[in-house]
Amino acid sequence: MSSRRTTFLVVVALAGGVLIPAGAVLLYLGSTGDHGGESVAGILALVLGLACVRVLVWVRRAGVLTRVGLSFRRPEE
C-alpha cells in the first residue's frame, strides 16, 4: 500500500518525464518552422518539467540532510 506522499512523487516524476521531452520536441518544431505557439508551449512544458525534477531533487535532498543532521545530534539522556 502506498502513501499519499509516494503517490504524489510518482505523479511528479511521470509528469517531469513526459513534459521535458514533449517540451523539447515542441520547442524544436516551433523554432525550425514559423510556429510561435509551439515554441511558447514548448518553453512552458520545459519549465514545468524542470520544476517537477526540481521538486524531486529537493524532496530527496531534504530527506538526506535531515538524516545527516540527526546523526550529528547527541541522544538526550
Per-residue pLDDT of the chain (77 residues; tens, 9 = 90+): 568 888 888 999 999 999 999 999 999 999 888 878 899 999 999 999 999 999 988 888 887 777 777 777 666 65
Domain membership of residue 73 (yes or no) is: no
Domain residues for the domain of 49 are 4-68
In the prediction, which pLDDT does 68 show? 74
* Domains in the chain, number: 1
- Tell me if the pTM is above 0.85: no
Domain membership of residue 75 (yes or no) is: no
In the prediction, which pLDDT does 45 show? 95
77: which DSSP letter?
-
Cell of 62: 531534504
In the prediction, which pLDDT does 75 show? 67
Domain membership of residue 47 (yes or no) is: yes
Calculate the CA 41 to chain-centre distance: 18
